[in-house]
Amino acid sequence: MVLFELIDFDLLRVVWWLLLGVLLTGFALTDGFDLGVGALLPFVARTDMERRIALNTIGPVWEGNQVWFILGGGAIFAAWPPLYAVSFSGFYLAMFAVLAALILRPVGFKYRSKRDSALWRSAWDWALFVGGAVPALIFGVAMGNVLQGVPFRFNEDLMIFYEGSFFGLLNPFALLVGVVSLSMLVMHGAAWLNLKTEGTVQARARKIGAAAALITIATFVLAGVWLAYGITGYEITSVIAPGSPSNPLLKDAAASGNWLAAYSVRPWIAVAPVLGIIGATLAYLGLRAGREVSTLLYSKLAIIGIIATAGLTMFPFILPSSLDPKASLTVWDASSSHQTLFVMLVAAVIFMPIILAYTAWVYKVLWGKVTAAEITVKSESVY
């Protein structure tokens, strides 16, 4: 209890904002290359054996990687209940599309090789493509809409009213951010295949991944320019009292200026977009040169920089409201209680190192390339 009293409520809010970013970034770094490989599958692998090689680079790890997605959703539910309520209800159809696509992955892995039929296997290969490309695109589209503000409001009883539509989410800026997300994860998937395969599959992955890296850089820069000159930012216009209760309507906020004003207040956050661009550039050069381990690390650096750019640019906003800026959710007014955040932090401190250690051990055990010879020998246990 002494420790509970020592940790300030507002500090806990910031810590959980950071941890949410860590969880979502962890999902992008791990399950991101799974999604990227799925999106690349029809293009880097043209024969049945080539596709089995590509699938077996992610088959043993994709389920563990997806745990980061579950942890991120759980953290939103427990640490940021209003964020969970607004996003999962307002983006319901988009979330449904993501989940439907993700469901195709285990089904595709399970049934693809059950029949020795070219048509059967091709159908499941395209299902796995959808399971990789669609979530990668929609995650970016969702982020693009968050940056623009989401059309929701609260009444005096804090009941949520969402007044947007599914097709309203498919606006030009959001689609551009969706392309950033998709190309970024395709680059990451290519970097993974570059590390885990050899021969024709590896060569095709390098070629497509290099192109994806260039698209990532171009669209990321274009999105930044658009954000600076075409998207209205948000700012808090009232004083936030320390330890204030989690009620968004107790503050005043306005849609004014642009998001990049944050860089004049906190110049150090410019390191995030710089890392994003440098990481993608080095990944491009690594793919062109045929480097393996370093290329995957550079790809991860690009993902960290790009995701951090969005979070740091918006801080302290986590879900602005385009309908009623006062209702916007921020780090200071959308969290769970002090005690809830503290108990969750204790659990995270205990279990996160265990998860990380186990994940590192799994990747160490599975280190090495997937080859046709290996698949032929172990045909009963591969996809």
pLDDT tens-digit series, residues 44-66? 999 989 999 999 999 888 888 88
Highest mean pLDDT among 26-30, 190-194, 233-237, 289-293: 190-194
Name the residue ranges covered by the structural domains of the chain: 10-234+256-381
Per-residue pLDDT at 155: 87
Amino acid present at 366: L
Q: What 8-state DSSP symbol labels residue 46?
A: -
Q: Is the pLDDT score of 278 beyond 80?
A: yes
Confidence band, pLDDT 50/70/90 cuts, at residue 257: confident
Rounded to 5 degrees, what angle do the CA atoms 239, 323, 159 make?
80
Using the structure block, give the residue that is written with the tokens 């080095």.
282
The CA radius of gyration of the chain, in Å to the nearest whole number, is: 22
Alpha carbons 110 and 314: distance in angstroms, whole number? 41
pTM for this entry? 0.93
Preceding omega of 316 cis (within 30 degrees of 0):
yes
Res 209 pLDDT > 90? yes
Tokens (6 digits) for 309: 């750019």
CB 132 within 8 A of CB 36: yes
Specify the higher pLDDT residue, 374 or 274. 274
Please state, for a pLDDT cut of 70, what percent of the chain lies above it: 97
DSSP assignment of 142-207: HHHHHHH-B-EEE-TT--EEE---TGGG--HHHHHHHHHHHHHHHHHHHHHHHHH--HHHHHHHHH
Distance CA(66)–CA(62), nearest Å, equals 6
The whole-angstrom separation of Cα 79 and Cα 9 is 12
Q: What is the pLDDT of residues 109-133, one digit of tens each?
A: 888 888 888 899 899 999 999 999 9
- For residue 38, name the pLDDT band (cuts at 50, 70, 90): very high
DSSP calls for 237-289: -S---TT--S-GGGS-EEE-S-GGGHHHH-GGGGHHHHHHHHHHHHHHHHHHH
pLDDT of residue 379: 57
Whole-number Cα distances in Å, 22 to 15, 128, 132, 174, 362: 10, 27, 21, 23, 20
Amino acid, single-letter form, for residue 192: W
Contact by Cβ (8 Å): 285, 210: no
pLDDT (tens digit per residue) in 298-324: 999 999 999 999 999 999 999 999 988
* 57 membership: H or E segment, kind and range: helix 48-58
pLDDT for position 117: 86
* pLDDT bracket for residue 14 (50, 70, 90): very high
User: pLDDT band at 159, cuts 50/70/90?
Assistant: confident
Q: 155-166: string of b/e by CB count within 10 Å (b at 16+)?
A: eeeeeeebeeee
Residues whose CB falls within 8 Å of the CB of residue 348, separated by 6 or more in sequence, listed in order:
19
Answer whether 295's CB lies under 8 Å from 195's CB: yes
